[in-house]
Amino acid sequence: MIYAVGYLIAINLITFTVYGVDKWRAREGRWRIQESTLLLLAAVGGTPGAFLGMLCFHHKTKHLKFMAGVPLIFVLQIICIWFLFYR
């Protein structure tokens, strides 16, 4: 259980940071991080970090793929956790 908590903390810190880096790169006109990578980080447990990154950095907030996708991924993760532990 402690490893799962450590993993979730780490993946969310990484995801939040990556969203910030991508926003910085966008402003600087530099090479960007692929949208699929940003969504993948959310899908592997980084949804809170992704959502906080979107809000704090005002990043990808105009993209329906992210504004609907990240919360949808989170709901699907909650459903999966529920099935794993309570069924």
Segments making up each domain of the chain, as ranges? 2-86
* Cα diameter, the chain: 49
Contact 54, 62 (CB under 8 A): no
> Which pLDDT tens digit goes with each residue over 4-23?
999 999 999 999 999 999 99
What is the radius of gyration, based on Cα positions, of the chain? 14
> Which pLDDT tens digit goes with each residue over 31-80?
999 999 999 999 999 999 999 999 999 989 888 899 999 999 999 999 99
